[in-house]
Amino acid sequence: MTTTPAPAPWSFSIRTRIAALVVVCVLPASAFAGFLAALSHDRGRAEVEQVLTAAAQNLTFVVERDLGAVEAALLALSTSPSIDAGNLAALDRQARDVLAQSPGINLLHIDLNGQQLVNTARPFGTPLPRETLSPAMLAVRDTARPGVTNLFYGPVLKMNVVALAVPVLRDGRVVSFLAMSLDAKHLDAVLARHTLPAGWTVEVLDGAGTVVTRGGAAAGATGVGDGPHDEPRILAAAARQSRGVILHDGRHGQTELVAYNRSAELGWTVVVEVPEHLLNADLARSLWLNLTVGAVLLLVGLVLARRIGRDISRPIEALIQPALALGRGEPVAVPPLGLREADRVGQAMTVAGELLRQREHERDRAQMEAWTDALTGLDNRRHFDGVLMAEIRRLRRSRAPLALIMLDIDHFKAFNDGYGHVAGDECLRMVAGVVAAMVQRPFDLAARYGGEEFAVILPETDLPGAATVAERLREAVSALRIPHRASETGRVTVSLGVVCVTVEADTVPEEVVARADEQLYRAKSLGRNRVAFTVPTGPVPVGLAQDLD
């Protein structure tokens, strides 16, 4: 429970403090001006450093988001069944489709020995080279996580490029890589969409300190890709601390204030620089304004002290409830308060509330995309594995039954060969629609397990109940009447394996899936288009007795 601390006994109201300030104003004008000058300079410098730091962090996020979209596309492609089937021609087509919707200029599929299997920069079927894996590729192999290379000159593409690589994982092991090359000029365009104040410069450095791109006042400047950054102090500071602000002598002999932010995700550093003479000019203008206002206040301060205190305290007090609402995560809309600083705080609160809502929405959307199979709209294998593990842990305590149905489309390869992959995808979507419609309870889960195989988790469901659901699934798929020349029935059918377990201390997901798979294979061996399950100890659903051993 959050409590509001009581004010200190010596705390004073704004009105009291303004009255005291008026008394101070009668001191010699020089002391007053000096005080304002020092205060204005320090505050102005601190604000500029905060803005620079925020700009570096924001541009880092922009670069991470841009490369993150490429990473998401590669991760989606890494689940392609064409990789498992070794169908490089189909994978080449899919890679070209992905590339057409991405900012990349080349997409490669590489095995663990460095042999290129697919290279969209060359016609399919052209002999492809085998190359030594780069350090970035080795890191992807060892960590099983995506990675981005430093800037390098691509001999085939004949330009400065960076490459983002993701592992192709099968059963938790890295079996190959997918990598997309991006022209360094693409990042120029990314930075160009974000306007910086006049005279400001932004640079993006890779993990080796090489300038990948420049923007702002240095947009289009030479030196991109020429080697490590020309100010080693910036690189050394970024190596010690991920973000910060330093003062250094710039490339044109002028002193610059530099904010840097190193991305933990990419290992890259974004540097924002502003010449100090621009800061001094702004601070000089601010100082002149402060001195002018100070002279006016010195003349009329005693008369207006009470009124000014009232005009300041009311807008600040009006920010209390919006601040509390923001802390509770509620929407905030602060109306104009009649005080510039308070309005800026109010606007910042409004923007902060909107950013919080946007981030929650983006997080929810990213989580949904990470859990959803793109083709069928069902949950994917990753989400299935997580839910199955969670249900086993939960039901281990309650001792309630856990049922699992594994479903496989009969003769699906023959369907694909006979009708084409487009028809095959539509068949998968139609079967997925049937599976989704059969999952009625909010805690049940239907997922595409892989290829033409689907899975249904039915917590707290006994074997007769699960077998009944499975039989309804079988009948519903058959009722779709999807033509299938290679099927015994002339239409698309499915075989289903059902298992129901009482979760024990040593029960693991792999065991449950293996048992359901065993029944699925038994249904296949018995002639397909049927449900197979172990003999239950309770009553058997009407119509299913013929499937029992």
Burial class (CB in 10 A: 0-12, 13-18, 19+), 492: buried
Rounded CA gap, 168 and 148, in Å? 15
Strands 173-183 and 159-170: antiparallel
User: CB under 8 Å to 359, separation ≥6 — which residues?
Assistant: none
Q: What tokens appear for 373 in the block?
A: 């199979």
- For helices 184-192 and 29-78, give the axis angle rounded to 10 degrees: 130
User: CB under 8 Å to 161, separation ≥6 — which residues?
Assistant: 105, 106, 151, 152, 153, 154, 181, 182, 183, 184
Burial class (CB in 10 A: 0-12, 13-18, 19+), 2: exposed
Residues belonging to the active site: 452
Helix, strand, coil in percent for the chain, rounding step 5: 50, 20, 30
Strands 531-533 and 494-502: parallel
Which 3-state string (H, E, C) describes 500-545?
A: EEECCCCCCHHHHHHHHHHHHHHHHHCCCCCEEECCCCCCCCCCCH
Helices (DSSP H) in 206-339: which residue ranges? 232-240, 276-318, 320-327
User: CB under 8 Å to 53, separation ≥6 — which residues?
Assistant: 243, 244, 245, 259, 261
* Residue 45: CA count within 13 A, CB half-sphere: 14
- Count how many residues are written for the chain: 549
Q: Which residues pair with 496 in a beta bridge?
A: 407, 531
Q: What tokens appear for 527 in the block?
A: 């002639």
Which among 545, 543, 519, 548 has a CA at the least distance from the CA of 404? 519
